Amino acid sequence: MELQNLLPRLDASGLAELIMEGRWRVYHGPIARFPEFLRPDGGALSNIEKLKDWPDFHFAFRDATGRYHQRKPGDGSVSTYYDKGYLIASHAIEGLSDSASGWLDEWAQLLGISNTHLRLNSWAVRGASGIDWHFDCEDVIHFQIKGDKLFKLMRTPKTVAADRQTKTFERILLAQENFGDASEEIVSEGTITIIPRGVWHWSESKSDESFAVSLCIDPPSRAEILSKALFKRLRLVEQNRMPLFGPNSSQSSAMQSLLDESGPLLRAMNGKSVMSEECRSKITSEVIGSSYFYISTRANASLNPIRMLVDGRAIAIQADEEKREVLQTICMLGHGFFARELDKLVPYTDAALISEVLSSLIRVGFLDFINIGSELGMPGGSSD
């Protein structure tokens, strides 16, 4: 992807710097630079008609007193609420377009993150409606496709680098803010707006119809990545999966034992191994050979017939008999296994095919893994 065709005078490092520093920016320009699936009106994601049967959305409106409401649809359709003049926000619409999904893969590579942390949402409204003051706990790149919209934006110290916990007390922070000094920007067809997490923003349509698509970037925080990496390693030891019971002295003793165990484990971990687990777009044969795999917290599976799910949705399994045997064996070992164990259970299967299957299941979020290497106390690791 040529980022500078989309955002003149901004390269990948400049974009990352804007996001990390929490600085919003508006780029006006021709819509011809947008990818084809975002071009009006023939693009796969370019107007509300393309989303009329999309199930994952919510609607918003202001009542007669000016009070803002945001709700889930219940049994209603996108078209029903849109025709009433409500604002429609549809989620994860990249599922409608192979080109859009491929575009997210390019963004993942550009930003050095997993594509599981990227999605496309849409914003559609008829008439002068919009969204009240709020901030997001994700970074947003907003593509205006049709109509004009007024943005108000303001950066405040309290919400810089906002995470999910910060978002939970958004209303408290909202009551304390004075938005009189907010900047105002009119965005029109072809405008791209970068809104980092924690930047307060408000928007209202200024056209009969307004339609936009946002690239939402939501990787975990540094603290979340490290705590997840440590948790994955600690839970492999049976006693660490047990809850705390008994008198305070007993619980304190058990926790001290866990802390003593965690110290050497943390010292044995390194940034490269932790990040190889997080950046799932870079699964090499070396990573596969040294890793311990298991079904992820997002996934589930059943056998006879084989069914594999991620986030409650079944993965389409289109495979020959040999590949299906590999998939079934993976599900049977889903509580934890090394790639070399698969080699023994499906001995006539090419190692490259096994690596391909493991990589694909990691990318879709079905498998999680620990890059063990020489870390202490892990199955197959060194205890020297």
Dihedral sign for Cα atoms in the order 265, 270, 271, 276: negative
Stretch (H or E) spanning 346:
none
pLDDT in tens, 296-329: 888 999 988 889 999 888 888 777 888 888 899 9
Q: Tokens standing for 229?
A: 């990496």
Kindly indicate the confidence band of residue 80, based on its pLDDT and cuts at 50, 70 and 90: confident
More confident residue, 93 or 73: 93
Query: In this predicted structure, what is the pLDDT of residue 98?
Result: 92
Q: Three-state SS string across 290-328, please?
A: CEEEEECCCEEEECCCCEEEECCEECCCCCCHHHHHHHH
- Answer yes or no: is pLDDT of 133 > 60: yes
Query: In this predicted structure, what is the pLDDT of residue 144?
Result: 97
Query: In this predicted structure, what is the pLDDT of residue 376?
Result: 44
**Average of per-residue pLDDT across 339-343:** 86
Query: In this predicted structure, what is the pLDDT of residue 268?
Result: 86
Pairing of strands 307-310, 299-302: antiparallel
pLDDT in tens, 17-74: 999 999 999 999 999 999 999 998 789 999 999 988 888 898 888 777 777 888 888 7
pLDDT above 70 coverage of the chain, percent: 96
More confident residue, 167 or 1: 167
Max alpha carbon distance in the chain (Å)?
71
Computed over every residue of the chain, the mean pLDDT equals 88
Among 60-64, 207-211, 285-289, the range with the most confident prediction by mean pLDDT is: 207-211
Domain boundaries, the chain: 3-217, 226-256+270-371
Kindly indicate the confidence band of residue 282, based on its pLDDT and cuts at 50, 70 and 90: low
- Answer yes or no: is pLDDT of 381 > 70: no
Query: In this predicted structure, what is the pLDDT of residue 280?
Result: 59
**Which fold, 3-217?**
Jelly Rolls (2.60.120)
Rounded Cα distance, 343 and 326, in Å: 9
Query: In this predicted structure, what is the pLDDT of residue 324?
Result: 86
Q: Tokens standing for 287?
A: 């990573």
For 246, phi then psi, to 5°, come to 100, -175
- Answer yes or no: is pLDDT of 190 > 90: yes
**Average of per-residue pLDDT across 114-135:** 89
Burial class of 258 by CB neighbour count within 10 A (0 to 12, 13 to 18, 19+): middle
Kindly indicate the confidence band of residue 153, based on its pLDDT and cuts at 50, 70 and 90: very high
Query: In this predicted structure, what is the pLDDT of residue 269?
Result: 87
**278 with 227: CB under 8 angstroms?**
no
pLDDT in tens, 224-281: 999 989 998 898 888 898 999 989 999 999 999 999 989 988 888 888 888 878 765 5
Query: In this predicted structure, what is the pLDDT of residue 83?
Result: 86
- Answer yes or no: is pLDDT of 206 > 90: yes
Query: In this predicted structure, what is the pLDDT of residue 373?
Result: 59
**144 with 189: CB under 8 angstroms?**
yes
**45 with 120: CB under 8 angstroms?**
yes
Query: In this predicted structure, what is the pLDDT of residue 285?
Result: 74
- Answer yes or no: is pLDDT of 375 > 70: no
Query: In this predicted structure, what is the pLDDT of residue 31?
Result: 95
